[in-house]
């Protein structure tokens, strides 16, 4: 996708959107949505990755199995007729209870480490790069609007330069007043506030619009298709 | 190397032990704890005449006096007919009354204000009497008093103290006291370290330094804890009868004692019928009960292989009085043989 700068747009963005930027942004959005919808399975994934093969988890599972077997055996025999066996089992169960408690603490600690690993991975591989991309390429234009007369000036500026435009606009007004009395052009020149005739949609705004549309679609689908149908309230019969 | 792992079915090693200072005898209610503790005390006193022994009952339902057929009180008194065995019964109610009387007498003309005045007004007995586990605490105080006396070389000094303990729950609470108290004093020490002067003024000007008293108490408690967990100095003798619930409670007691690092390697099984060898009095009921007792005895053997399991017979009458106790207690030193010793169970002098 190459966006050529229209020749008539003399004061439009200096940047040209490159394909990889848009692709990377879409990948981040999709990855974020995938992680959002699979959050229920994250524990299991972390468990498989961090516990399944660890000696503590294997020992924990084995001890739990042994505990269950002994409990079942003790429930199946008469304590009075098999007192020695029953008591020996109880001693083993007491010992096992301590071991299981210790192993459970180890497994939980490993689980916590796994959760932390997942959280950090998400931060390092998704959140931070996505934020970096938005900061770095956020002002690049994804496409130009066919006409600059579609939206009011404020909105045009916002689409073109992102949310920063809204923040800078009042400052620009104040500075223009000041400039008329004192020469502060050395400051105003630095503030590249949109005022040109060609209006484009910057990456930051495009991503905001994309995620908003996706969220709205999700809401509609969840409400109309996936949501549980509520039963109509029962109307109380009128007293005669 | 051929190791002989057989453990004697008697308490000879304990009875002749010269190192033990504290011997606890405990078990479920009604299994013969008092008879067993009295028997151990008598046998030890007979075997080691050069030493002094003290038998203390910490059971709120005292029956040492009944067992020996003479009245014992809160102060140690020698058993008539034995010059190296003394007995005492700790009476929580009487001890509390003493504490209260002492507080009132100290308070006469005091009027120093503070907490001490309130306690001297008789509130001490009310306060302490309502504390759960006060019986155990008083028994514990007796132990501390005894240790202090030994350290200072004052009054009667005893080489070995035998405790006729209360039923299992009370005893376990008593044995937990050194650990619990140690932890409590540690915490309290931290607080008094910071607020010591303020607490002293709160208690009234006539009182001594609380921190110093607490440190002394802590040192005593630590000494007791160390002695109780030393197998050369302290041991626990479990008493039971050959029935399910008694064995179940004995097992619980043993496991708890092991968790406190206390030495326990002796079990006295009381009230056995030995009906096979009793040709003269061998009714159907006795045979049936003996069959049941044998079943549990086998299980005891399997469960406590490394314990001294002493099997004691059920006697025809109550084992009361020094003479009867002496007769009965010898089976702790040399195991009872139903074939040759059977007559003893009908020979007890009637003390009822």
What is the Cα–Cα distance from B84 to B105, expressed in whole angstroms?
Answer: 35
Q: Do A87 and B244 touch (CB under 8 A)?
A: no
Q: Do A91 and B296 touch (CB under 8 A)?
A: no
Closest CA to B81 of B299, B344, B323, B288: B323
Residue A234, in any domain of the structure: no
Would you state the pLDDT for residue B282?
78
Same domain for A147 and A34: no
Asked if residue B225 lies in contact with residue B178, where contact means CB atoms within 8 angstroms, the answer is: yes
Q: In this predicted model, what pLDDT tens digit does every residue of A157-175 receive, in sequence order?
A: 888 888 888 888 888 888 8
What is the Cα–Cα distance from A54 to A75, expressed in whole angstroms?
Answer: 32
What is the Cα–Cα distance from A95 to A110, expressed in whole angstroms?
Answer: 23
Helix axes B210-228, B168-203, angle to 10 degrees: 160
How many domains is chain A partitioned into structurally? Answer: 2
Q: What pLDDT band is residue A8 in, cutting at 50, 70 and 90?
A: very low
Q: How many CA atoms lie within 13 A of B174 on its CB side?
A: 28
Q: Is A88 on the interface with B (CB under 8 A)?
A: yes
Residues of B with CB under 8 A from a CB of A: 244, 247-248, 251, 255, 296, 298-299, 302-303
B351 has a pLDDT exceeding 90:
no
Asked if residue B313 lies in contact with residue B29, where contact means CB atoms within 8 angstroms, the answer is: no
Q: Which residues of A touch B247 (CB under 8 A)?
A: 83, 87
Residue B164 φ then ψ, to 5°: -90, 100
Q: Alpha carbon of B329 to those of B36, B83, B150: distances in Å? A: 8, 18, 29
Higher pLDDT, B327 or A49: B327
Of the partner residues A84, A90, A94, the one whose CB lies closest to the CB of residue B299: A84
Q: Show the tokens assigned to B307.
A: 């314990």
Would you state the pLDDT for residue B296?
95
Q: Alpha carbon of A113 to those of A20, A48, A101, A121: distances in Å? A: 34, 13, 18, 12
Same domain for A104 and A144: no
Same domain for A64 and A32: yes
Residue with tokens 């502060």: A184
Query: What string of DSSP letters covers B216-232?
Result: HHHHHHHHHHHHHT-TT
Show binding-site residues of B for Zn(2+): 283, 286
Q: In this predicted model, what pLDDT tens digit does every residue of A45-100 receive, in sequence order?
A: 777 766 666 788 889 989 999 999 999 999 999 999 999 999 999 999 999 999 99
How far off is chain A from B140, nearest CA to CA, in Å? 30
Q: Is A11 on the interface with B (CB under 8 A)?
A: no
Centre a 10 Å sphere on the Cβ of residue A148 and count the other Cβ atoms it contains: 17
Same domain for A213 and A179: yes
Would you state the pLDDT for residue B302?
94
Show binding-site residues of B: 28-35, 243, 270, 283, 286
Chosen domain end from A106, A136, A166: A136
| B98 given a catalytic annotation | no
A24 has a pLDDT exceeding 50:
yes
Residue A3, in any domain of the structure: no
Residue B240 φ then ψ, to 5°: -150, 175
Q: What is the pTM of this model?
A: 0.69
Mutation pick from B258, B259, B299 vs chain A, by most beta carbons of A within 10 Å, is B299
A6 has a pLDDT exceeding 50:
no
Size of interface A-B (CB pairs under 8 A): 21
Residue A47 φ then ψ, to 5°: -60, -45
What is the Cα–Cα distance from B137 to B58, expressed in whole angstroms?
Answer: 10
Would you state the pLDDT for residue B321?
93
Chosen domain end from A136, A158, A192: A136
Tell me what the mean pLDDT of segment A205-224 comes to.
Answer: 91
Q: Do A87 and B298 touch (CB under 8 A)?
A: no
What is the Cα–Cα distance from A145 to A150, expressed in whole angstroms?
Answer: 8
- What is the dihedral angle through the alpha carbons of A217, A223, A228, A232, rounded to the nearest 10 degrees? -160
| Residues of the domain holding A194 | 138-225
DSSP B135: H
Would you state the pLDDT for residue A92?
95
User: Does the model's ipTM exceed the 0.85 cut?
Assistant: no
A13 has a pLDDT exceeding 60:
no
Same domain for A198 and A117: no
Higher pLDDT, A19 or B209: A19
Would you state the pLDDT for residue B343?
85
Higher pLDDT, B7 or B194: B7
SS (H, E, C) chain A: CCCCCCCCCCCCCCCCCCHHHHHHHHHHHHHHHHHHHCHHHHHHHHHHHHCCCCHHHHHHHHHHHHHHHHHHHHHHCCCCCCHHHHHHHHHHHHHHHHHHHHHHHHHHHHHHHHHHHHHHHHHHHHHHHHHHHHHHHCCCEEEECCCCCCCCHHHHHHHHHCHHHHHHHHHHHHHHHHHHHCCCHHHHCCCCCCCCCCCEEEHHHHHHHHHHHHHHHHHHHHHHHHCCCCCCCCCCCCCC
Same domain for A77 and A146: no
Q: Is A83 on the interface with B (CB under 8 A)?
A: yes
CATH number at residue A94: 1.10.287.660
- What integer best gives the mean pLDDT of chain A? 82
Residue A124, in any domain of the structure: yes
Q: Do B299 and A91 touch (CB under 8 A)?
A: no
Q: Alpha carbon of B319 to those of A44, A108, A195: distances in Å? A: 68, 59, 114
**Domain ranges across chain B:** 12-92+136-346
Same domain for A41 and A57: yes
Nearest CA in chain A to B304: A84
Chosen domain end from A136, A158, A179: A136
Would you state the pLDDT for residue A131?
93
Mutation pick from A81, A85, A87 vs chain B, by most beta carbons of B within 10 Å, is A87
Catalytic residue from among B59, B135, B278, B333: B59
Tell me what the mean pLDDT of segment B77-102 comes to.
Answer: 78
Q: Show the tokens assigned to B174.
A: 């008593």
Q: Show the tokens assigned to B85.
A: 């065995």
Q: Is A65 on the interface with B (CB under 8 A)?
A: no
Same domain for A157 and A205: yes
Residue A94, in any domain of the structure: yes
Q: In this predicted model, what pLDDT tens digit does every residue of B172-211 receive, in sequence order?
A: 777 777 777 777 777 777 776 676 666 666 655 555 566 6
Q: What pLDDT band is residue B85 in, cutting at 50, 70 and 90?
A: very high
Nearest CA in chain B to A81: B295
Q: Is B352 helix (H, G, I), strand (E, B) or coil?
A: coil
Would you state the pLDDT for residue A189?
63
Q: In this predicted model, what pLDDT tens digit does every residue of B227-285 receive, in sequence order?
A: 888 999 999 999 999 999 999 999 999 998 898 888 999 999 999 999 888 777 778 89
Residue A5, in any domain of the structure: no
A133 has a pLDDT exceeding 70:
yes
Same domain for A158 and A129: no
Asked if residue B320 lies in contact with residue B295, where contact means CB atoms within 8 angstroms, the answer is: no
Same domain for A132 and A24: yes
Same domain for A94 and A186: no
A229 has a pLDDT exceeding 90:
no
Would you state the pLDDT for residue B131?
60
Buried b (16+ CB within 10 A) or exposed e, A42-52: eeeebbeebbe
Residue A183, judged by CB atoms within 10 A of its CB (0-12, 13-18, 19+), counts as: exposed
**How long, in residues, is chain B?**
352
Would you state the pLDDT for residue A1?
42
- What integer best gives the mean pLDDT of chain B? 81
Same domain for A107 and A37: yes
Would you state the pLDDT for residue B124?
57
Residue A4 φ then ψ, to 5°: -85, 145
Superfamily (CATH H level) for B12-92+136-346: P-loop containing nucleotide triphosphate hydrolases (3.40.50.300)
Residue A216, in any domain of the structure: yes
Q: In this predicted model, what pLDDT tens digit does every residue of B40-75 receive, in sequence order?
A: 999 999 999 999 999 988 776 778 999 999 999 878
What is the Cα–Cα distance from A115 to A110, expressed in whole angstroms?
Answer: 9
Sign of CA dihedral B226, B231, B233, B236: positive
Q: How many CA atoms lie within 13 A of A61 on its CB side?
A: 7
Would you state the pLDDT for residue A64?
94
Q: Do B244 and A79 touch (CB under 8 A)?
A: yes
């Amino acid at each position: 996708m190459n966006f050529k700068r229209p020749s008539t747009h003399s004061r439009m963005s200096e940047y040209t959107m490159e394909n990889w930027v848009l692709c990377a942004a879409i990948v981040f959005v999709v990855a974020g949505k995938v992680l959002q919808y699979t959050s229920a399975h994250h524990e299991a994934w972390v468990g498989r990755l961090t516990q399944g093969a660890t000696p503590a988890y294997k020992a924990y599972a084995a001890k739990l199995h042994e505990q269950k077997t002994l409990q079942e055996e003790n429930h199946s025999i008469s304590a009075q007729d098999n007192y020695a066996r029953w008591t020996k089992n109880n001693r083993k169960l007491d010992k096992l209870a301590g071991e299981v408690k210790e192993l459970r603490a180890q497994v939980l600690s490993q689980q916590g480490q796994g959760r932390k690993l997942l959280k950090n991975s998400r931060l390092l591989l998704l959140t931070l790069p996505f934020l970096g991309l938005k900061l770095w390429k956020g002002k690049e234009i994804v496409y130009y609007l066919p006409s600059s007369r579609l939206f009011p000036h404020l909105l045009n500026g916002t689409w073109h330069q992102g949310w920063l435009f809204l923040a800078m606009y009042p400052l620009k007004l104040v500075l223009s007043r000041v400039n008329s009395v004192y020469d502060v052009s050395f400051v105003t020149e630095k503030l590249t506030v949109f005022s040109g005739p060609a209006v484009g949609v910057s990456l930051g705004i495009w991503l905001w619009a994309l995620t908003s549309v996706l969220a709205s679609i999700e809401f509609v689908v969840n409400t109309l298709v996936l949501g549980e149908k509520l039963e109509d309230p029962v109307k109380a019969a009128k007293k005669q | 190397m051929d190791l002989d792992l057989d453990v004697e079915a008697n308490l000879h090693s304990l009875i002749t032990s010269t190192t033990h200072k504290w011997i606890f005898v405990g078990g479920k209610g009604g299994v013969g704890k008092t008879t067993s503790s009295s028997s151990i005390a008598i046998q030890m006193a007979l075997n080691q005449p050069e030493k002094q022994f003290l038998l203390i009952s910490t059971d709120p339902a005292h029956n040492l006096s009944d067992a020996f057929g003479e009245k014992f009180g809160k102060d140690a008194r020698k058993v008539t007919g034995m010059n190296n065995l003394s007995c005492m019964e700790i009476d929580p109610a009487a001890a509390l009354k003493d504490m209260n009387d002492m507080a009132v007498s100290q308070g006469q003309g005091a009027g120093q204000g503070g907490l001490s005045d309130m306690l001297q007004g008789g509130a001490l007995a009310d306060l302490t009497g309502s504390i759960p586990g006060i019986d155990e605490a008083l028994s514990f105080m007796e132990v501390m008093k005894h240790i202090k006396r030994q350290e200072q070389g004052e009054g009667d000094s005893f080489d070995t103290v035998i405790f006729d303990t209360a039923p299992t729950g009370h005893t376990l609470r008593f044995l937990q006291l050194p650990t619990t108290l140690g932890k409590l004093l540690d915490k309290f020490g931290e607080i008094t370290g910071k607020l010591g002067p303020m607490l002293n003024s709160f208690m009234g000007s006539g009182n001594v330094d609380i921190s110093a008293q607490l440190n002394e108490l802590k040192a005593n408690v630590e000494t007791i804890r160390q002695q109780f967990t030393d197998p050369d100095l302290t041991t626990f003798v479990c008493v039971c009868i050959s029935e399910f619930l008694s064995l179940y409670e004995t097992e619980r007691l043993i496991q708890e004692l092991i968790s406190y690092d206390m030495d326990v390697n002796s079990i006295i099984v009381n009230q056995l019928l030995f009906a096979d060898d009793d040709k003269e009095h061998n009714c159907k009921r006795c045979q049936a009960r003996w069959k049941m007792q044998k079943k549990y005895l086998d299980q005891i053997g399997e469960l406590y292989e490394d314990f001294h399991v002493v099997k004691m017979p059920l006697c025809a009458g109550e084992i009361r009085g020094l003479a009867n106790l002496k007769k009965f207690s010898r089976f702790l030193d040399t195991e009872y043989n139903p074939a040759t010793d059977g007559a003893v169970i009908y020979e007890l002098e009637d003390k009822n």
